[in-house]
A = this chain, B = another copy of it.
Amino acid sequence: MKKLIVIYMILIAAFIGYVTLHQLNSKNSKDYGLESGLRGEVDEKYVMVTFQAGMDYWKRGIKGFEDAAKVLNVSVEYRGATQYDANEENTVLEQVIAKKPAGIAVTAINPEALTATIDKAVQAGIPVVLFDSNTMDSKVRTFLGTDNRSAGATAANQLAKLIEGTGKVAIITRPGQLNHQERTDGFVDTLKSSYPNIQVVAIENGKGDQAESEQATRRIIQQVPDLNGIFATEANGGIGVGNALLQTGKAGKIKVIGFDTDKGTLDMVKNGVLSETLAQGTWNMGYWSLQYLFHLHHGLGDSNGESISTLPVYTDTGISVVTKTNVDSYYAK
């Protein structure tokens, strides 16, 4: 009986010891404001706000946002204007701000339209980061998105490889829209500096429209029958180019680099009408947006005072090249 009591006493001591140790551990890591590692609370809710919320384009970004929520043990919500409509996005953003979430990742429908509402969120003390499309002059200091000049340079290098560094190429783009101008500039500058035997023979306005881009491509092919390659700076342009090549029997002969990963574009990469397309790092935009918001919400960062930013100013979320070989993994799920 005495022995039994001793065993019980040991067990009780072990139990108390275990519980105490565990609580001590929790307390130690609480010094850094977090219970253990980077781990939030499930009632900590972060919201992503977009426009044209149903577009395939956002799906990988939402996935990144959700993946970050899983590893950080927090909750996320996805909200967006259904249309390409600045007023509607402003309304959605106002509703989100009213609920005082732990943080908001916003993509701005255009550089001016959302600035006032975004600043209202910042003034209410809600952490905000911008992704994909930046504002011009808001109080938000952190932007994540594609470096479009660098994307254009990638297009130039890929197309140069496909046509073996020699020949005539054309561009179908939307002149006057900043991201497309930057893609065009990066493409042209890279060819100029690195590929002296490649000549840009035409830069045409496809107006972001399949039919317009198709007609522009047909015109170019008529004027330059020995054209070797085309870079389309946006998705509809690429599909228009593809259709023109199919109709003129040039598919596969003229090499084409498209942009983005909507279903039409991916289908044309799969059947070889487009040689390659460039995928933006949208998963990265979502994932690192949430990471940054989490850091802002938890006041993680440099302890040296508010004058020193605790977050990167700009994050280039990168471009990846989609070919026939890897195209299947890019279809939206």
Is the beta-carbon distance between B305 and A329 smaller than 8 angstroms? yes
Chain A contact residue count (CB 8 A cutoff) = 61
Q: Given A11-B12, A67-B301, 12 other A-B contacts at CB below 8 A?
A: A18-B19, A37-B37, A37-B38, A38-B38, A71-B300, A281-B312, A283-B310, A287-B301, A287-B302, A307-B321, A307-B329, A313-B317
Within 8 A of B (CB), among A12-56: 12, 14-15, 18-19, 22, 29, 32, 34-40
Q: How far is the CB of A148 from chain B (nearest CB, A)?
A: 13
CA of A14 to CA of B305, assembled, Å: 46
Q: Which residues of B contact A291 (CB under 8 A)?
A: 291
Which residue of the partner chain, among B22, B40, B315, contacts A22 with CB atoms under 8 Å? B22
Q: Which residues of B contact A34 (CB under 8 A)?
A: 37, 71
* A231 proximal to B (CB < 8 A): no
Report which A residues bind B (CB closer than 8 A). 1, 8, 11-12, 14-15, 18-19, 22, 29, 32, 34-40, 60, 63-64, 67, 70-73, 141, 144, 147, 150, 279, 281, 283-284, 287-288, 291, 300-302, 304-305, 307-322, 326, 329-330
**What is the interface of chain A mostly: helix, strand, loop, or mixed?**
mixed
Central interface residue in A67, A150, A308, A318, by most chain B CB within 10 Å: A308
Is the beta-carbon distance between B311 and A314 smaller than 8 angstroms? no
CA of A284 to CA of B141, assembled, Å: 14
Q: Which residues of B contact A314 (CB under 8 A)?
A: 147, 150, 314-316
Known contacts: A18-B19, A22-B22. The answer to whether A312 contacts B38 by CB under 8 A is no
Q: Which residue of B lies closest to A143 (CB)?
A: B316
Q: Which residue of B lies closest to A304 (CB)?
A: B329
5 contacts between A and B (CB under 8 A): A11-B15, A15-B15, A37-B40, A308-B329, A309-B320
CA of A36 to CA of B40, assembled, Å: 10
Is the beta-carbon distance between A281 and B309 smaller than 8 angstroms? yes
Known contacts: A19-B18, A313-B317, A316-B315. The answer to whether A71 contacts B308 by CB under 8 A is no
Is the beta-carbon distance between B318 and A312 smaller than 8 angstroms? yes
Q: How far is the CB of A264 from chain B (nearest CB, A)?
A: 20
Is the beta-carbon distance between A37 and B73 smaller than 8 angstroms? yes
Q: Which residues of B contact A319 (CB under 8 A)?
A: 313
